[in-house]
């Protein structure tokens, strides 16, 4: 009956009225976490970036587009929850200026983008979490264990779920995943290729283990 927040999907950062910067995230991992949590009796707040997936009707659902919108919703509900599973692929950068109309290709032969950093929502939560459980996700292309350990410590997480997106059957858009779970005590569990729903089950098992009594 505990209340958890799950974030899912990509965010979009506008370049102009028709184009945006985003990622290949489909939302499948986050939605699987929400569904599995509900099946286990948790109350779920699902905050999702643009995704074709249908949210579970039992979830308190919020749809967002940009990283700043994601941050606003997360911060609005953070005080109420027992834990957060931050599976969304939030854009690290956004254009410094958004063109008011449509950028015409015949107006320039090349285009330079000036990008600025978005807030690091997960790191911000790590600073203020107190006794709340915080789960982060990272998608990497090399040195998975080292980068996961670095993010776990830097962002003050209780658990990180890391995957190497160069592996077949892992990463964005597919129905399966291959992940490394690493907790705050340094305990690691490697999960071979399995459905994202099965991965979600293993994540929730670990969340239950790490939750304060």
Q: What's the pLDDT at 131? A: 94
DSSP-derived secondary structure for 174-200: SSEEEEEEEETT--EEEEEEEEHHHHH
Check whether 153 has a pLDDT greater than 90. Answer: yes
For the chain, domain boundaries: 3-90+120-210
Cα–Cα distance between 180 and 100 in angstroms, integer? 43
Listed residue (73, 75, 89, 101) closest to 12, CA to CA: 89
pLDDT of residue 106: 79
**Which whole-number Å values give the CA distances from 198 to 69, 138, 201, in the listed order?**
30, 18, 5
How far apart, in whole angstroms, are the C-alpha atoms of residue 125 and residue 155?
A: 8
Global confidence as pTM: 0.94
Q: What is the mean pLDDT of the chain?
A: 94
pLDDT of residue 170: 81
* Residue pLDDT, tens place only, 28-52: 999 999 999 999 999 999 999 999 9
The per-residue pLDDT for range 102-142, each reduced to its tens digit, is 988 877 778 888 999 999 999 999 999 999 999 999 999 89
Given a cut of 80, whether residue 101 has pLDDT beyond it is yes
Distance of CA 131 to the CA centre of its chain: 20
> What percent of the chain shows pLDDT beyond 90?
84
What sign for the dihedral angle of Cα 200, 205, 206, 211?
Answer: positive
Per-residue tokens: 125: 């939560």
> What separation in angstroms does the CA of 168 have from each of 18, 89, 115, 171?
32, 19, 31, 8
Query: Per-residue pLDDT tens for 200-213?
Result: 999 999 999 999 86
Instruction: Give the pLDDT mean for 55-81.
Output: 98
Domain made up of 3-90+120-210: CATH architecture: 3-Layer(aba) Sandwich (3.40)
Taking residues 168-186, what's their average pLDDT?
A: 90
**pLDDT confidence of residue 166:** 84
**3-class state of residue 137 by DSSP:** strand
Confirm if 66 and 11 have CB atoms less than 8 A apart: yes
């Amino acid at each position: 009956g505990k209340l958890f927040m799950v974030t899912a999907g990509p965010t979009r950062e506008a370049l102009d009225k028709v184009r945006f910067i985003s990622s290949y995230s489909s939302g499948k991992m986050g939605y699987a976490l929400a569904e599995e949590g509900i099946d286990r009796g948790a109350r779920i707040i699902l905050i999702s970036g643009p995704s074709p997936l249908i949210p579970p009707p039992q979830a308190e659902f919020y749809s967002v587009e940009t990283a700043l919108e994601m941050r606003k919703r997360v911060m609005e509900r953070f005080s109420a929850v027992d834990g957060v599973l931050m599976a969304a692929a939030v854009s690290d950068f956004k254009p410094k200026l958004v063109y008011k109309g449509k950028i015409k290709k015949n107006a320039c032969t090349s285009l330079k983008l000036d990008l600025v950093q978005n807030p690091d929502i997960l790191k911000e939560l790590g600073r203020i979490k107190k006794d709340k459980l915080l789960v982060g996700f990272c998608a990497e292309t090399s040195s998975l264990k080292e980068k996961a350990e670095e993010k776990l410590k830097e962002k003050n997480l209780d658990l990180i779920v890391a995957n190497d997106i160069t592996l077949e059957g892992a990463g964005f858009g597919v129905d399966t995943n291959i992940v490394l779970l690493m907790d705050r005590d340094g305990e690691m569990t490697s999960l071979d290729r399995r459905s994202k729903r099965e991965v979600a089950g293993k994540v929730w098992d670990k969340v239950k283990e790490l939750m304060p009594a």
